Structure 1
Amino acid sequence: MALTIRSVASYNTHKEYSVDFFGNDLFVTVTPTTSVIRRWINAAVFYHRRWHRHRPLVVGVGVQWTPFGYYDPPADTLQLCVGKRCIIIQLSHCGHVPQILRRFLADPQTTFVGVWNYQDARKLWQSGHGLGIAELLDIRHYVVNSEGRSMRTFSFEHIVEGCLGFRGVRLDPGISMSDWSVDDLSHAQILQASVDAYVCCKLGVLGRLWEV
């Protein structure tokens, strides 16, 4: 599988990584820090307005939590992707979240796209920050493969292969069910979370989901 990740920088406030997704370089920030979250959102909006003002903003969204018996756990992380810029916000380590994040997530003019995400909005609300989000689309309901067939019931792996032509890109259940509340996320967790959000953003743009 042509997916790799490498560490770029480590600071007290955040860590930065580079993910190679079949030749596409994704820049990934992992942080619980308010100022870093604020800076990422401002930069994402700025670059979108500068280079893609002809269309609405499309954001890939993913939410991770740590399964624990019969307990219904809240979100531990929120991953966002705009273009090739991704951020993984460690909600379980945030003292508080900036108001700009609340406004960003609540903007009805922004198209938010995830996959197999029927629990995500509830998990965000259950987090210690009570985060709300505007309409969150599930990419499965809108994409079709090269033969024009709906992929509503397909796995993430088959959606990526059918729509983007890349094989072997799967969401590993073992990683999905790992501990997302840890201080230092593993490279495997960061890679999966960022690819999840990036693919959803990419397909949201290709499918012009702001028109649905």
Structure 2
Amino acid sequence: MAVVTIHDHELDSDIHNLYDVVIYSKQVKTLLTTCPSMVSSWISDVEKIHRRRLSRLIVGLDVEWRPSFSRYQNPVATLQICVGHRCLIFQLIHADSIPASLSDFLANANYSFVGVGIGADIEKLAEDHGLTVRNAVDLGDLAAREYDDPGMKNRGLKDLARIVRGMEIEKPKRITMGRWDNRWLTCEQVQYACVDAFVSFEIGKKLITGA
């Protein structure tokens, strides 16, 4: 099983914090925030870093919300996006507003947003927060074509990570089913959210570019 570690920078701020999540020796710089302007800065930084490949940018995407045990579904609490070794966890549920930069980023047709079961995630993002993801790509569908195996469409992230990337990851039920609407997420939640987005990015990069 992969050794995943997290370092909490413990910033003196009530709107953001920084973490270093190490996954298979790869350090992913992770920003957790409720602040729209910090989201805009993160997007700007990522687009500058990857300016030479903006015509074909790959973005790992995932969302989390507090589970409901009734017909009512709680709204999306967090949006996670990852490009390379940088991850953003935006606490939508506690944000005063959604920056136009994020709407524009998600609506960019040149960017491929990859995830497992991403169709349901982007539908919920649109319903709960009015965010539209223009070019969503389901990793199960990609893998089914790449491996010529229709059964891959039904594989979860854990299986795809192992098959495509040789990465063993954990998805503890107690975290999956946790309080994602809390104002302060735990280190375990931040690590979980980062791993999902980063691994989605890594799988997408392999299936789309072969790298």
TM (norm. structure 1) is 0.89
The residue that corresponds to 2:19 in the other structure is 17
Q: Does the 8 A contact of 1:156 with 1:171 survive in 2?
A: no
* 1:111-149 deviation digits (Å, cap 9, x = unpaired): 01011233211221232x3211113211111126x9775
Give the counterpart letter for 1:193 in structure 2: A
The residue that corresponds to 1:36 in the other structure is 38
Q: Please state how far the C-alpha of 1:205 moved relative to its aligned partner.
A: 1.6
Separation in 2 of the partners of 1:8 and 1:159?
31
* Equivalent residues in 2 for 1:118-157, closer than 5 Å: 118-127=119-128, 129-143=129-143, 149=149, 151-157=152-158
Single out whichever of 192-201 and 114-123 deviates more from structure 2: 114-123
Separation in 1 of the partners of 2:207 and 2:197?
15
Q: Does the 8 A contact of 2:108 with 2:135 survive in 1?
A: no
TM (norm. structure 2) is 0.89
Q: Give the % identical residues.
A: 30
CA RMSD of aligned residues (A): 2.1
The residue that corresponds to 2:116 in the other structure is 115
The residue that corresponds to 1:6 in the other structure is 7
Q: Please state how far the C-alpha of 1:53 moved relative to its aligned partner.
A: 2.5
* 1:80-107 deviation digits (Å, cap 9, x = unpaired): 0011100000000011011111101111
The residue that corresponds to 2:49 in the other structure is 47
SS of structure 2 residue aligned to 1:207: helix
Count of matched residue positions in the alignment of Structure 1 and Structure 2: 205
Single out whichever of 1-10 and 102-111 deviates more from structure 2: 1-10
- C-alpha change, 1:116 and 1:191, in structure 2 (3 Å) is same
- Give unpaired runs (5+ residues) of structure 1: none
- C-alpha change, 1:204 and 1:29, in structure 2 (3 Å) is same
* Equivalent residues in 2 for 1:1-212, closer than 5 Å: 1-10=2-11, 11-49=13-51, 52-53=52-53, 56-68=56-68, 69-127=70-128, 129-143=129-143, 149=149, 151-167=152-168, 169-208=169-208
- Give unpaired runs (5+ residues) of structure 2: none
SS of structure 1 residue aligned to 2:153: coil
Give the counterpart letter for 2:62 in structure 1: G
- C-alpha change, 1:118 and 1:53, in structure 2 (3 Å) is closer
- C-alpha change, 1:4 and 1:165, in structure 2 (3 Å) is same
Give the counterpart letter for 1:156 in structure 2: L
* 1:146-190 deviation digits (Å, cap 9, x = unpaired): 9775622222212111111122x0323321221111011111111
Misfit runs of 4+, over 3 Å? 146-150
Q: Does the 8 A contact of 1:73 with 1:123 survive in 2?
A: no
Give the counterpart letter for 1:32 in structure 2: T
Q: Does the 8 A contact of 2:109 with 2:134 survive in 1?
A: yes
